[in-house]
Structure 1
Amino acid sequence: MSASSLSTGSAGSTTPGGLVPRDAGDLLAILRDGIPRTRAQLAEITGLARSTVASRIDALMHARLIMPAPDAASSGGRPPARVVFNAGARIILAIDLGATHGVIAIADLAGNVLASESAPLTIADGPEPVLGWALHTAKRLVKASGRPRSELAGVGIGLPGPVQHSTGMPINPPIMPGWDRFDVPSYVRRTFDVPVLVDNDVNVLALGEHAVSWPLEDDLLFVKVSTGIGLGIIAGGRLQRGAAGSAGDLGHVRVPFTRDTPRHGDEDADLEALASGPAIARYIAERGTPATSSADVLALARAGNADAVAGIRQAGRDLGEVLATCVNLFNPSVVVVGGSIARAGEQLLAGVREVVYRQSTPLATQHLQIVAASAGETGGVLGAAIMVAQHLLDPA
Structure 2
Amino acid sequence: MTTSLLDTLRGGLIVSCQPVDNGPLDSIPAIVGFALAARDGGARALRIEGADNVAAVAKACDLPIIGIVKRDLSTSPVRITPYIEDVAALAAAGAHVIAVDATLRERPVAVAELLAAIRGYGRLAMADLSTIEEAYAAFAMGFDIVGTTMSGYTGGSTPDGPDLAFVTASKALGGFVVAEGRYNSPSLAAAAILAGADAVCAGSAITRTEHVTGWFAKAVADADRRRGETVLAFDIGGTKTLAALVRGETVIDRRLVPTPPDVGSAGWFDAIADMAADWRGEYHVAGVAATGLVRDGLWNALNPGTLAIPPDTSLSGELARRLNCPIVARNDAQAAAWGEYQFGAGQQRDMAFVTVSSGIGGGLVLGGRLVEGARGLAGSLGQVQGSKGDLRLEDLASGFAMAATAGEAGLPADTRLLFDAAKAGNTMAGKILDRAAARIATGLVDLQRLVDPQAVVVGGGVGLAPAFQAALNRSLELFDTALRPHVVFAALGADAGLIGIGHLAQQSDVM
Give the TM-score normalised by the residue count of structure 2: 0.54
The answer on whether the counterparts of 1:127 and 1:182 sit within 8 Å (CA) in structure 2 is no
The residue number in structure 2 matching 1:325 is 446
Percent identity (aligned): 25
* 1:186 pairs with 2:317: yes
Structure of greater relative contact order (alpha carbons < 8 Å, 6+ residues apart): 1
Aligned pairs for 1:119-268 within 5 A: 119-122=257-260, 125-140=263-278, 142-143=279-280, 148=281, 152-163=283-294, 165-170=295-300, 174=304, 175-214=306-345, 216-255=347-386
Q: Deviations over 1:144-173 (max 9, x none)?
A: xxxx36xx332111111112x223332565
Give secondary structure in 1 for the equivalent of 2:316: helix
Describe the shift of the 1:216–1:373 C-alpha distance in structure 2 as closer, same or farther (beyond 3 A).
Answer: closer
Q: Secondary structure at the match of 1:176?
A: coil
**CA 1:202–1:58 in structure 2 vs 1: closer, same or farther (change >3 Å)?**
closer
SS class of match (1:335):
strand
1:388 aligns with 2:505: yes
CA shift for structure 1 position 270: 2.3
Tell me, yes or no, if the aligned pair for 1:205 and 1:380 is still in contact at 8 Å.
yes
1:359 to 475, 479, 502: 479
- In structure 2, give the amino acid aligned to 1:135: A
Separation in structure 1 between the aligned mates of residue 412 and residue 476 of structure 2, nearest angstrom: 31
Q: Find the residue that maps to 1:217 and give its secondary structure.
A: coil
Q: Hey, what does 2:487 align to over in structure 1?
A: 370
CA pair 200-54 structure 1, distance change in 2 beyond 3 A:
closer
1:324–1:355 contact (8 Å) kept in structure 2: no
1:181–1:172 CA distance, 2 compared to 1 (3 A): farther
Which residue of structure 1 lines up, in the alignment, with residue 403 of structure 2? 281
When Rg is computed on C-alpha atoms for both structures, the one with the higher figure is 2
TM-score normalised according to structure 1 size:
0.68
CA separation of 1:391 and 1:12: change in aligned 2, threshold 3 A: farther
Matched with 1:73 is none
1:74-93 equivalences under 5 Å are 85-87=224-226, 89-93=228-232
Q: What value does the CA root-mean-square deviation take over the aligned residues?
A: 3.4
Look up the SS of the partner of 1:131 in the other structure: helix
Q: CA deviation at 1:13?
A: 9.9
1:192-237 per-position Cα deviation (integer Å, ceiling 9, x unaligned) = 2222121211111111111111464331111111221122111122
Q: Equivalents in 2 of 1:162, 1:222: separation in Å?
A: 16
Give the aligned length. 313
Contact 2:346 2:455 in 1 (8 A): no
Q: List runs of 5+ in structure 2 lacking aligned partners.
A: 1-156, 162-181, 186-204
Match of 2:245 in 1: 106
CA distance in 1, matches of 2:184, 2:303: 40
Letter in 1 for 2:300: P
Measured in 2, the distance between the counterparts of 1:113 and 1:23 equals 40
1:377 alignment partner, SS class: helix
Return closer, same or farther for 1:249/1:54 CA change in 2, 3 Å cut-off.
closer
Report the counterpart of residue 26 of structure 2 in structure 1: none
Alpha-carbon displacement from aligned partner over 1:298-327 (angstroms, at most 9, x marks no partner): 244247453445422321111111211111
Please state whether the residue corresponding to 1:102 is helix, strand or coil.
Answer: strand
- Displacement of 1:130 after TM fit? 3.6
Question: Aligned-pair distance for 1:125?
Answer: 4.5
Task: State the AA in 2 paired with 1:391.
Answer: S
1:379 aligned onto 2:501: no
**Residue aligned with 2:500, SS:** helix
Deviation at 1:99?
0.6
Counterpart CA distance in 1 for 2:336 and 2:448 is 19
Decide which of 236, 241, 246 is 1:97's aligned counterpart: 236
SS of 2:286's equivalent?
Answer: strand
